[in-house]
Amino acid sequence: MQDHIDELTQLCGAALGEGVVTGLTRLSGGASMESWRFSFDGKPLVLRRLPFQASASSAANDNDVGAISLATQAGLIDHLHGVGLKVPRVIAQLPPDSRLGEGFIMTCVAGEALPSRLLNKPEYGPARARLSAECAIELARIHSLDTAGLPVTLPRLSPRELLEEQEGFYRQFGSANAVFELAFAWLSQYCPEPQAYRLVHADFRMGNFLVDTDGLTAVLDWELAHIGDPLRDISFLCIPSWRFGHYDLEAGGFAALTTWLDDYERASGQVVPRESFEWWMIFNILWWGVTCLRLGSTYRDGSVPSVERTVIGRRVSEVEVDLLLALGKKRDRAEDTLGVPPAVIEPELPLAGDITYPEMAGALENWNRTDVLADASGHTVFAARVANNALGIVRRALLLGPDYATRQSDRLGALGYSGDALCAALRDDFTLCHDDGCWNHLRLTTLERLMIDQPHYAGRAVALGAWCEDRIAP
């Protein structure tokens, strides 16, 4: 660690003059990139870098990292800061032979990034009320930049190219996910042409904003930036997974969709075409699902062997329910109920006799919660919470998985398909979803998978309320 501090001191000294590095601390979160906060001569700075356990080649395979290098990111952010956008100032780039790996150093902008705090704490209430308008103004400024004047080369990607790229990623895992097949088929059928090609952030959402009690202070994490359709950004803010429990507030968990679209149209002077916006919404939801698969695969191939990657890999089921809620509006008939109450989907199975494997997993969960978390601090708190999520998934899979597998096999048999055959049929003809039996199987299977993987996901309550008899409130 001292070698790292010495190198940081040299790099910061060359840019800022003499000083001492203090308080080097890793920040929580960051599935693909690491962020470390420290001070140099009292000035707060952030080191953004590729994790030590990940190689540059493995990072290039992470869609969460994207196609542009850290050097390109630094050059882009430096330019955006120079033209007055709300981004940090780049202080220095790490040299190719750096002991710290690949990355750059930037100023630490004041503000909170954690959505759980920004969306729930009362002191951020006034900022939340202004956030839609402020994000719209900043996004409109990003989209208005002259791309010919950028000092870095960014990929130029059409909606069709992005869709084909994501389907290629999905196919390489040999996955057989009926909901994903349905989404890919629908997206391919209705793929739009962009109205214009602009600078696109492509990860414009809560978690990548810094906000203080007065409002938006910075937009972070430009690793997915490219030249493309600005509708990607406008809709990306509305992905259900990035509403952080506030499912009814479609824009980032802090504003209604109508408010967000009105604010963007006012700030940009451009009309948001609603049909194309809906296509991008479904694309972005599916994009996150494919990204979950890709991030999970880096645990399996050993490039990023962290517990967090396994948990992210199981977030696919939350994407499935979001896709079905969105695609249900595209069916040629009104949405009906599944004909079963929620209690049938989430049974409580009795435990008797010998200690069971689910009970052992539950004991580990409790030990981690009461013993490990109680004494944890810093990044270890985040890691311990992720571990508890993983243990919960294992416990529920052991308890409920066999019963769910039998139900799914019986439903497929009644439809006359195997799992792979249904996927192939949906891939060839997405209108198969108009068949009630097929649609009900997709919905039930998704709710069962979600019960194991993400039972507290807000979209699950919304789906139960919309699809089940004896409907429950979201």
For the four alpha carbons of 241, 244, 250 and 253, in that order, the dihedral sign comes to negative
CB atoms within 10 A of CB 46: 19
Per-residue pLDDT at 32: 64
CA 167 to chain centre: 17
Domain map (residue ranges) of the chain? 1-108, 331-467
Q: What is the pLDDT of residue 64?
A: 40
pLDDT given for residue 28 in this prediction:
66
Q: Which DSSP string do the residues of 263-324 spell out, in sequence order?
A: HHHHHHS----HHHHHHHHHHHHHHHHHHHHHHHHHHHTTSS--HHHHHHHTTHHHHHHHHH
How many whole angstroms separate alpha carbon 404 and alpha carbon 345?
9
Locate 28 and state its tokens. 């929580």
Q: Which residues pair with 198 in a beta bridge?
A: 228
pLDDT digits (tens, 9 = 90+) for 304-361: 888 999 999 999 999 999 999 999 998 887 778 888 777 777 766 666 778 888 888 8
Instruction: Report the alpha-carbon distance of residue 128 to residue 130 in Å, rounded.
Output: 5
CB 12 within 8 A of CB 24: no
Q: What is the pLDDT of residue 16?
A: 93
The CATH superfamily label for domain 1-108 reads Phosphorylase Kinase; domain 1 (3.30.200.20)
State how far Cα 29 lies from the chain centre: 12
Please tell me the distance from the alpha carbon of residue 159 to that of residue 212, in angstroms, as a whole number.
Answer: 34
pLDDT tens digits for range 125-149: 999 999 999 999 999 999 999 999 9
Closest CA to 379 of 89, 34, 125: 34
pLDDT for res 250:
97
42 CB burial (10 A radius; 0-12, 13-18, 19+): exposed
Residue 101 near residue 132 (C-beta atoms within 8 A): no
Which segments in the chain show pLDDT lower than 70? 1-2, 28-32, 51-67, 347-351, 469-474
d(CA 138, CA 233): 11
Res 472: pLDDT:
46
